[in-house]
Structure 1
């Protein structure tokens, strides 16, 4: 089974440092980790719509391949970040040049990713393949282009002096047109539809910076945090030999878990816990706003099944996204903790989803945010206290199979 090490967590987190569009005038800093989160949220929607009529096993395999393909591409992107897209596409047009670049990237990533065993093998096969016509790559490319174009729309009004802007705009429009045949893509590209509004709202989570009372470097957003939690959840799922459905659900749960914060903003834990009734008030408001702004419009336009799926990731029917659960026919049933899920519910037919393990990943991502800033020389008493508290909480976790104590010892 894969071994989770400090180097893997730091590699996943490193996208929080990488600037996008850094040769253009930008209204805000656009970061790789935020773009990847937006891309994978859209990819999840496109997976759901394009897999509606597939047999269960094929649906699960498609979701797994999209998740892993997104991670494969993200890790590749971390190495080639300084290559502008037009230059990269020129390299791809020459098979020999692209092969040399790919082998360089894989050699750079091997020390960190090879302990993941089969995942690393699948990643090498993915990047050495020349076939880009399959459904998995089409969904990921469509989601990538949409998320990149969304960023482009932010900066285009500020760059009227730049003679590249018209060519970039035309390229996005032409390339996205090629994916309109994907289920859900036409609606996503049509202004003011429910899917277009959902895609836009997801993108806006990059504007919400976490830990606003504690300046940090890097200053991670809610959107980037969601991707980090999702990636952590997926790799920990592999490390405990989770079934395919459970690993997929854990990734998508991590990816969606802070979506309601679009409606309430990121409220730090000490504030939430300072008033006994505040968490309940916030949750009630979040669910009402989710229904009004996202779920009802989606249902009205025929996406009721997508609403049900997102609701499952958010744990709305069991009280929390951090509650273990499974399916029993049409019903969603609470499971009494991680061990019960691991021992009795780790089967695709039960559609299981972790709770405590997702919470551990949420805490671990927050720990990395605090630790990285302190290591970068930007600290405060609040940040020091948060790092110590999160580390103690993680070390006391009952999920012994995750080996959190040994993992965190490497951060000393």
Structure 2
């Protein structure tokens, strides 16, 4: 029987410690969890661009591959954190050495991933099978990885003119980008000045610089972008345990991945501030909606990407008023339902189901782990301890489907 455990959640969170480009001069710290968020946002855009002509089932399967394989890649990277990419690529060139490395990584991850059930663990093993055939999902994830890494490189390039590795790195990105020129949407993504997809991807990247809990010290500091990725992963794992249908699992991951997107327009405003003035949270929500329409949805629609704007709107809950509402789609209309009906009557791909209540739990669980980790690392200030107490008290008796949230939080003692 599958379950969610503390070890799995903490393993995913550990990417918030993992620095990137740490042998280069950097204008700001760059972390693995942020890069993965940016990568999966790009993968989602490429998924939309490359599936317009596909049948529903073919599109669903590709979406499954992209979400799970993206998570698998991230978990693998967490374990081999000390191996620089050039060294890892050399290891991959030797099948026997690569096999030994993969088996070691799988052994390290089995204790935390096996709790999600035998089927999930077998899919993880199958992904790294050297006999597995190359698929479109591999190209999309590789292109998304290339974009996110090259976006980071452009940030540090000007500060490292003295570095003799710079020309080699720059040329490697040029070669990689050339491989994806025929992938639908990739050229547009690489043009942030004149193309709507490129502007949107670039705008999302700026969420790396926006720190959560910015008014208080924490170790590690998490960004809004990294938090979005954590919530996406947690939502996906929760969905696996709830035996959610494939479309529901995908919706929940991408909803988690995008749920704080409006904060690139308003900044991260903590709940006590939002609730300090009557109806302030309503005013902030109205402003977020206006700015989303002006800076995201309108530019996409103006260049013919209405389907992407609509799909993003569905994930952000524009039709229901909040991304935290459980909903389905029937004949093109979004309808509100409760969790029990979502879990029983509408847990079917044809209803395009999406969890809102469970997403909210994952959002606050990620916040709890952020506070818990900071306190464990010695930042024991009143605000963090109070935040932990409020969340523990709120979810003490809370059960959602097969998961007891209070019991899960009690593991963090």
Aligned to 2:95: 95
Question: Which residues of 2 match residues 274-289 of structure 1 at below 5 A?
Answer: 274-289=276-291
Contact 2:191 2:199 in 1 (8 A): no
Give the corresponding residue for 1:152.
153
3-state SS in 2 of match to 1:103: helix
Q: TM-score, normalised by structure 1?
A: 0.98
Give, in angstroms, the shift of residue 131 of structure 1: 4.8
Separation (CA, whole Å) in 1 of partners of 2:149 and 2:233: 20
1:1-25 Cα offsets, whole Å, 9 max, x none, are: 5211000000010100101111001
The equivalent of 1:197 in structure 2 is 199
- Structure-2 residue corresponding to 1:262: 264
Aligned residues: 411
Mapping of residues 313-352 of structure 1, within 5 Å? 313-335=315-337, 337-352=338-353
Q: How does 1:21-170 map to 2 (within 5 A)?
A: 21-116=21-116, 117-131=118-132, 133-170=134-171
**Cα pair 1:363 1:394 within 8 Å, conserved:** no
Q: How far did 1:177 drift?
A: 1.4
Distance 1:293 1:357 in 2: 28
Structure 2: gaps of 5 or more residues: none
Pairing of 1:365-380 with structure 2 (within 5 A): 365-380=366-381
In structure 1, runs of 5+ residues without a counterpart are none
Kindly state the Cα deviation for residue 397 of structure 1 after the two structures are TM-superposed: 2.7
- Paired position in structure 2 for 1:391: 392
TM-score if structure 2 supplies the norm length?
A: 0.97
Deviation, 1:295, is 1.1
SS at match of 2:149: helix
**4+ aligned runs moved over 6 Å, structure 1:** none
Q: Distance in 1 between matches of 2:5 and 2:90?
A: 35
Whether the aligned pair in 2 keeps the contact of 1:364 and 1:394 (CA below 8 Å) is no
Q: Tell me, in whole angstroms, the C-alpha distance in 1 between the residues paired with 2:183 and 2:380.
A: 47
Alignment partner, residue 406 of structure 1? 407
Report the aligned-residue RMSD: 1.1
Is the contact made by 1:132 and 1:138 (CA closer than 8 Å) also made in structure 2? no
Contact 1:35–1:147 (CA under 8 A) maintained in structure 2: yes
Distance 1:306 1:268, change over 3 A: same
Q: CA deviation at 1:396?
A: 3.6
Q: 1:187 to 1:19 in 2, by over 3 A?
A: same
Give secondary structure in 1 for the equivalent of 2:19.
Answer: coil
